[in-house]
């Protein structure tokens, strides 16, 4: 039987009930409201015990779900319309948002409350739904718990998903989180300097996005949420000098795909190649140049009057080509080079007229 709500004729309901329509029945000076049992798909409802109810969109087969419990112990039950026959509902403070929040191809949904620190993320695995975001445990250690061994604390991963469930900002925060944890845990001064630089790279990228600086501050602060962690952070900063803090630029050099390797050049001195071209000259450098680095490839014409074409390839694909005339030079810049991703660097000089020309190629590497 439907629940019947009695209100005096001088009163109006202060809360919106779980219905798409109100059915008024007037009897004397009394006004009865009988709520319909159909929920609006865009609204989250709750009952007197605090359980939540959502009517999903057509993309989710219009499923009706009930969420019971509290953070860390939520259960989800699929209901039918008849299950609502004796239930009185009011609108909840949660807001409903759909999205691909868990990294797969299935649309999930999120229930957002207030400032976002008590969100519920409900994952769709194709058949069932489950709450996957709640308060992660804290064992009190400086590194805290990282159950999947990806280098990011479980509790920090929860906060990242709340701030940016996908997109480049999520990748920047993962990069910052990975290296903030490394900065706190590692004991080698050189490693700590490198890891701090990676944190700054993440900051540079986040500062160019809306709310990115605030997100950076929240995530770094989350790493310092105990006295031991805070003291370790302050202690590890004591050896950082001004030279370490200097950077060629504060442009964003990260691709936003997640944690990127520490920038490190494996060649420390410029490599020089001198060549003569009558038809084609090429070389694979044979060098492992570095991880996540910037390469500068400077080509100059050194002798004879003939032009030639110069190009370079990565992973077997030509990236750029230019014609070099007598007394001319040109510099190619290769950002974010990594051997694992880009493969060998191949240099090619080509004189289709088969006339003699000489050139010099200087290859330098700098950290991003």
Position with higher pLDDT, 350 vs 13: 350
- pLDDT at residue 12 is higher than 90: no
Q: Of the ranges 74-78, 133-137, 249-253, 350-354, which one carries the lowest mean pLDDT score? A: 133-137
3-state secondary structure (DSSP) of residue 119 = coil
Q: From the DSSP assignment, how many helices (H) and strands (E) are in the chain?
A: 7, 21
Per DSSP (E only), the strands in 212-270 are: 264-265
Burial string for 169-198 (b: 16+ CB within 10 Å, else e) reads bbbbbbbbbbbbbbbbbeeeeeebbbbbbb
On whether the CB atoms of residues 160 and 144 are closer than 8 A, the answer is no
Q: Tens digits of per-residue pLDDT, 59-104?
A: 899 899 999 876 556 789 999 888 887 788 888 888 898 988 766 7
Residue 20's pLDDT is 39
Give the pTM: 0.56
Q: What is the pLDDT of residue 341?
A: 76
Q: Which residues pair with 303 in a beta bridge?
A: 358
What average pLDDT does the chain have? Answer: 81
Q: Find where tokens 């004189």 sit.
A: 351
- Packing angle between helix 154-163 and helix 212-223, nearest 10 degrees? 160
**Cβ(131)–Cβ(120) below 8 Å:** yes
Name which residue leads in pLDDT, 83 or 175: 175
Q: What is the largest CA-CA distance in the chain?
A: 108
Nearest to 220 by CA among 236, 200, 249: 200
- Would you tell me the crossing angle of helices 168-185 and 154-163 to the nearest 10 degrees? 150
């Amino acid at each position: 039987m439907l629940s019947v709500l009695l209100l005096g004729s001088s009163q109006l309901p202060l809360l919106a009930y779980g219905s798409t329509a109100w059915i008024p029945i007037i009897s004397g000076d009394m006004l009865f409201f009988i709520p319909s049992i159909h929920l609006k798909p865009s609204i989250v409802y709750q009952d007197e015990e605090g359980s939540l109810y959502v009517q999903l969109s057509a993309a989710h087969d219009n499923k009706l779900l009930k969420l019971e419990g509290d953070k860390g112990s939520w259960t989800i039950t699929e209901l039918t319309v008849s299950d609502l026959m004796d239930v009185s509902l009011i609108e909840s403070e949660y807001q409903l948002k759909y999205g691909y929040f868990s990294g797969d191809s299935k649309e999930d949904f999120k229930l957002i409350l207030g400032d976002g620190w008590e969100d519920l993320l409900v994952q769709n695995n194709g058949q069932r739904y489950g709450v996957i975001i709640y308060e992660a445990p804290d064992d009190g250690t400086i590194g805290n718990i990282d159950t999947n061994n990806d280098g990011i604390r479980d509790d920090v991963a929860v906060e990242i998903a709340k701030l940016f469930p996908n997109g480049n900002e999520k990748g920047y925060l993962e990069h910052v989180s990975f290296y903030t944890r490394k900065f706190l845990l590692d004991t080698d001064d050189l490693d700590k300097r490198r890891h701090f630089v990676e944190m700054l790279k993440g900051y540079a990228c986040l500062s160019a996005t809306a709310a990115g600086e605030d997100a950076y501050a929240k995530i770094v602060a989350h790493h310092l949420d105990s006295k031991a962690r805070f003291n370790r952070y302050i202690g590890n900063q004591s050896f950082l000098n001004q030279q370490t803090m200097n950077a060629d630029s504060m442009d964003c050099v990260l691709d936003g795909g997640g944690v990127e390797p520490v920038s490190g050049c494996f060649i420390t001195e410029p490599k020089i190649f001198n060549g003569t071209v009558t038809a084609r000259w090429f070389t694979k450098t044979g060098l492992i140049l570095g991880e996540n680095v910037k390469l500068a490839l400077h080509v100059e014409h050194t002798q004879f009057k003939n032009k030639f074409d110069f190009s370079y390839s990565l992973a077997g694909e030509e990236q750029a080509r230019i014609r070099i005339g007598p007394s001319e030079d040109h510099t190619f810049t290769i950002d974010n080079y990594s051997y694992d991703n880009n493969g060998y660097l191949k240099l090619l000089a080509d004189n289709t007229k088969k006339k003699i020309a000489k050139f010099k190629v200087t290859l330098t590497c700098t950290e991003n």
